[in-house]
Amino acid sequence: MKQSIYTWLDERLHFHKIKEVVDKKDVPIHKHTIWYYLGGMTLFLFIVQFVTGMLLLFYYRPSAEEAFESVQYIMNEVYFGWLIRSIHSWAANVLVAVVVLHMISVFFMQAYRKPRELTWMSGVILLFITLGFGFTGYLLPWNQLAYFATAVGTEMAGSVPFIGQWILEFLRGGPDITGATLNRFFAIHVWILPAAFFLFVILHLYQVQLHGMSIPPNIESKGSMKFYPDFLMRDAVGWLIAIGILAALAALFPWELGEKADPFAPAPPGIKPEWYFMFMFQALKVLPATIGPIAGDVLGVVVFSIGALLLVLIPLFDKKAEHGQSNPTLKWIGIIVIIFIIAMTIWGELD
Amino acid sequence: MNRRKFTDWLLRIASIPVAASIIYPIIRFFQPPETAEGTATTVEAATVDELAVDEYKIFRFGARPGILLRVSEDDYRAFAATCTHLDCIVQYRDDKRMIWCACHNGLFDLSGRNVSGPPPRPLEEYQTNVVGDKIYVTRT
């Protein structure tokens, strides 16, 4: 019976071809193999976000009048609502950290070199999409902190030369943060970004499948293991631990809701963005009002935008990696950037 | 049973509570919590000058609608306004002097009894009290 159902489906869906591909997939073993698990962990955390996000949609109401109350309702009334929302919030933060680590490991292993340039580029775009999820999701509970953090964040986007004002009004749905902003952020958070995410994640995974895992230059591989079941099982152990950690975090530290946003109240002290935006926030804060003829914040935003573009294009200008050589200059630039980001983040959090 | 098989079984059995601890909260989450039913058993339904004789009003009784009729000068009657057939909201027909449900032509008399059409049960009756110029409705 089981066999005949399988045969029936296989004749139509060609499972055996998928099986052939999976059977052929190997994961190289060497001293940096552990970093390969970060990709799978990222994907898993995204699935957690999709599942919990879909659940939250059953109760969340995207309007200035009701958003805060509906999240309050989820936290206080809905069965396991506190768990689902806290996991969504915690996983979002863990996800950003894991995505960044994933990127850093790929950077230092120079895994972006030919023929994997597009894997890197789609990956960096997925990082930006992840940050977009974080930025738009932060506002959705419509509380004081998020309200003013969004005011600051969108104001920064407004500093982009030429198109800044347009971006600002596009994001806010007008000159100010109102219920219209909430609607837009909601639409971006639950439709536009997930659609973009799917597009790029398919591109990303297709290439990972096509080219296999990259072995860093100058590293000797000590053989390989089968992706299925050996690697996937190890992946699964990590996912199980991740679920356990998320559930524990949600139970011990349920995500706070704070006070409902009031557009006519003065901003409370302690307004700050999510930690992963802190380095930009802090850098723009400490820049002088004008640098030469240019406004300080405009210059800051321009520098960050160019930095983001360069990050995407790394594979194109690392010519050494293409020939399988390490690139100490680029490595040191990477280390300096990471130190700068960490230092700015700590400074901002302590400030 | 060797060690490998034993671990294998252990893993399989352990996967059941793990799956259950993920799936159970999700299933429960879908179930809407009972709405705050409104513990009040008495509400102010209308004021005396709001209703002339032979007029009616739909009022809120907690989360549910109620219907208040003024049958004569000092005779007010109140019922649950939810039709016992398929949950439409009923209305008062002064031409018939009956409570009528427009959805499937159900009729209730002025005591809330189902007299014709599909409704299977009478409407739940409430007590009315006039205090000053306010009409209070009480659920018993």
pLDDT in tens, A323-338: 888 889 999 999 999 9
Tally of CB atoms within 10 A around A169: 14
pLDDT given for residue B38 in this prediction: 55
Residue predicted with more confidence, A102 or B44 = A102
Please check whether residue A243 is in contact with residue A91, taking contact to mean a CB–CB distance below 8 angstroms.
no
B69 and B100 belong to one structural domain: yes
Q: Which domains does chain A have, with CATH numbers?
A: 32-216+225-260 (1.20.810.10)
Nearest by Cα to A283 from A334, A337, A333, A332: A337
CATH code, B131: 2.102.10.10
CB pair distance less than 8 Å for A83 and B30: no
Calpha distance B10→A70 (Å, rounded): 42
Q: Is the pLDDT of residue A221 over 60?
A: yes
CB pair distance less than 8 Å for A58 and B31: no
Residue B36: inside a domain, yes or no? no
B87 and B54 belong to one structural domain: yes
- Share the mean pLDDT of chain B: 88
Residue B27: inside a domain, yes or no? yes
Residue B37: inside a domain, yes or no? no
Is the CB of A246 inside 8 Å of chain B's CB atoms? Answer: no
B27 and B72 belong to one structural domain: no
Please check whether residue A129 is in contact with residue A193, taking contact to mean a CB–CB distance below 8 angstroms.
yes
B52 and B101 belong to one structural domain: yes
For A175-199, the pLDDT digits (tens) are 888 899 999 999 999 999 999 999 9
pLDDT given for residue A21 in this prediction: 87
pLDDT given for residue A246 in this prediction: 96
B61 and B113 belong to one structural domain: yes
Write the CB contacts of A219 (distance below 8 Å, at least 6 apart in sequence).
Answer: A30, A31, A32
B5 and B54 belong to one structural domain: no
pLDDT given for residue B132 in this prediction: 87
Is the CB of A243 inside 8 Å of chain B's CB atoms? Answer: yes
B19 and B62 belong to one structural domain: no
CB pair distance less than 8 Å for A84 and B33: no
pLDDT given for residue A45 in this prediction: 97
Residue B18 structural domain: 1-31
Looking only at the bridges linking them, the beta strands covering B42-47 and B134-138 are: antiparallel
Residue B47: inside a domain, yes or no? yes
Query: Is residue A312 very low, low, confident or very high in pLDDT (cuts 50, 70, 90)?
Result: very high
B48 and B89 belong to one structural domain: yes
Mean pLDDT value of segment A137-156: 90
Retrieve residue B29's tokens: 């989450």
Residue B88: inside a domain, yes or no? yes
CA distance A65 to chain B (A): 19
The total number of residues shown for chain B amounts to: 140
Distances (CA, A) of A192 to A90, A93, A135: 22, 20, 13
Cβ under 8 Å to A: B residues 13-32: 18, 21-22, 25-26, 28-32
Pick from A29-38, A67-76, B29-38: least confident: B29-38
Q: Which residues of chain B have pLDDT under 50?
A: none
Is the CB of A43 inside 8 Å of chain B's CB atoms? Answer: no
B51 and B24 belong to one structural domain: no
CA distance A59 to chain B (A): 9
B48 and B1 belong to one structural domain: no
Mean pLDDT value of segment A267-281: 85
Phi/psi of residue A45, nearest 5 degrees: -65, -35
pLDDT given for residue A266 in this prediction: 78
Residue B62: inside a domain, yes or no? yes
Q: Is the pLDDT of residue A111 over 90?
A: yes
- Cis bond upstream, residue B17 (ω within 30): no
Closest Cβ–Cβ partner in B22, B25, B33 for A77: B33
Total domains in the fold of chain B? 2
Query: Is residue A304 very low, low, confident or very high in pLDDT (cuts 50, 70, 90)?
Result: very high
Query: Is residue A56 very low, low, confident or very high in pLDDT (cuts 50, 70, 90)?
Result: very high
H helices present in chain A, as ranges: 2-13, 15-24, 37-56, 67-76, 81-108, 117-139, 144-157, 164-172, 179-187, 193-211, 232-252, 278-286, 296-317, 319-322, 328-350
B4 and B70 belong to one structural domain: no
B20 and B66 belong to one structural domain: no
ipTM exceeds 0.95: no
Is the CB of B10 inside 8 Å of chain A's CB atoms? Answer: no
Q: Is the pLDDT of residue A204 over 90?
A: yes
